[in-house]
Amino acid sequence: MSHSESATSLFAVTVDQVSFDYGDSLALQKVSFGVSAGCLFGLLGPNGSGKTTLFRLLATLIPMQRGQVTVLNHDLASQPQRIRQRLGITFQSPALDVRLTVRENLDCHGAIYGLPKKTIRQRSDELLADLQLLDRQHERVERLSGGQKRRVELAKGLLHQPSLLLLDEPSTGLDPAARRQFWSLIQAHRKNMTIIVTTHLMDEAEQCDQLLLLDQGKVVAEGSPADLQASLPGERLSIQLQSSDSVSVAQLKSDIERLLKATGQQAGDRLVFRLKNATDALQSLMDGFREHVKTAEVARPTLEDVFLEKTGRDFAMAEASATESPTKTQATKRKKASL
């Protein structure tokens, strides 16, 4: 995809033919997309898909190598300082000083973003109230729960009223209740702001207006969650198998595929089929293999199915292959020579 200059102003972010490598490891390969102003845009992919590299590029933390990125009408390579003024960032690993209090962290952050003291105080009061942190404002960050730290990090990201908010895996380490609360806060603060979120969680991705699916540094699909799901015809039959000494999972897979006249995708003891009429197939399955089925479920195709359809691998497989040689990947990423 290539975005013309006339369309640039409609987009808060345009990414055009961007590639990035850590020495001999290619993290992004000719990635292109646009993020409309005011959009909640998700970068979805398994670990190692390149979304964190993309996040670091947009956050101006690593330099451009190839391609072009425009953020809020400023060229990322030549005007990073202009971009930083209008960028709010919530890091996956909170960028907080744990020995300072919540209020002190906000004071320090406001000062390095060039805000006058009075403004810092006013904005902090507003945000601490909104994010339900007012009663913890004089508490040291090291004494806060994971969810509270996330909210402090979000308050930092919002303190200078950014035009673009970057969220890197914002729900990592949060329990479901804290995750729901965090997302409701993000939704409440969306006004007049574009948000880009990186995630590998499907429920988080479904909150986005637009999604970009990444795998091995390449774009595999783009669209709204509903459109992406609707792009897959039929229904999804998901089966968890119960193997035994006499029958292996591989044998069961082969038998079930013969019965359903379809090819399934296997991940461990799970089989997934995409079928025109999964309800009838479920009936046949239960008639023939009841004793070998732990659970079976018919559902609409999920974003994970879209990923599976586009890449031939599910998220678990993709993450496993990304972590197969972590030493090499880490060692390569540590190399600064190419930067």
Partner 1 sequence: MNSSTTNVARFNEDPTLGSGKKVEKRLVGNAVWALAYRELTRFFRQRSRLVGAIGQPIIFWVLFGAGLRNSFQAPDWASNLEQPVSYQEYFFPGIAVLIVMFTAIFSTISIIEDRREGFLQGVLAAPVPRSVIVLGKVLGGTILAVLQAGLFLLIGPLLQQLGLTTGLQLQLQLVPFLVAAAFLIVIAVELTALGFLIAWPMNSTQGFHAIMSIFLMPMWLLSGAFFPGDGTPWLLWVIKLNPLTYGVAGLRRLLYSGSLPVTETLPSMTACLVVTFGFAALCLFVCSRLVARPMIQNVT
Q: Which position among 74, 84, 218, 270 is part of the footprint of partner 1 (CB under 8 A)? A: 84
Count of residues in the chain? 339
Q: Does 174 contact partner 1 by CB under 8 A?
A: no
DSSP string covering 246-302:
SS-HHHHHHHHHHHHTSPPEEETTEEEEEES-HHHHHHHHHHHHGGGEEEEEEE---
Q: Does 326 contact partner 1 by CB under 8 A?
A: no
Q: Does 333 contact partner 1 by CB under 8 A?
A: yes
Q: Among 9-17, 112-120, 239-247, 302-310, which window interacts with partner 1 (CB under 8 A)?
A: 112-120
Bridge partners, residue 194, by sequence:
164
By beta-carbon proximity to partner 1, the closer residue of 126 and 280 is 126
Q: Does 187 contact partner 1 by CB under 8 A?
A: no
Shortest distance, position 130 Cβ to partner 1, whole Å: 6
By beta-carbon proximity to partner 1, the closer residue of 162 and 301 is 162
Closest CA to 295 of 215, 240, 339, 338: 240
Q: Which position among 29, 32, 119, 321 is part of the footprint of partner 1 (CB under 8 A)? A: 119
Q: Which position among 36, 132, 192, 251 is part of the footprint of partner 1 (CB under 8 A)? A: 192
Q: Does 282 contact partner 1 by CB under 8 A?
A: no
Q: Is 94 helix (H, G, I), strand (E, B) or coil?
A: coil
Joined together, the tokens standing for residue 57 give 């590029």
- Yes or no: say if 10 and 36 are a contact pair by the CB < 8 Å rule: yes
Q: Does 66 contact partner 1 by CB under 8 A?
A: no
Of 6-45, which residues contact partner 1 (CB under 8 A)? 22
DSSP string covering 316-338:
HHHHHHHTSSHHHHHHHHH--TT
What are the C-alpha distances in Å from 164 to residues 38, 78, 154, 195? 9, 18, 13, 6
Q: Does 112 contact partner 1 by CB under 8 A?
A: yes
Measured between alpha carbons, how far is 236 from 62 in angstroms, rounded to an integer? 40
Q: Does 126 contact partner 1 by CB under 8 A?
A: yes
Q: Which position among 78, 114, 138, 177 is part of the footprint of partner 1 (CB under 8 A)? A: 114
Q: Does 130 contact partner 1 by CB under 8 A?
A: yes
Measured between alpha carbons, how far is 259 from 252 in angstroms, rounded to an integer? 10
Joined together, the tokens standing for residue 229 give 């799901």
Please report, as ranges, the residues that interact with partner 1 according to CB under 8 A.
Answer: 22, 56, 59-63, 81, 84-87, 89, 91-100, 104, 107-109, 111-117, 119, 122-123, 126-127, 130, 156, 158, 160-161, 188-189, 191-192, 333-336, 339
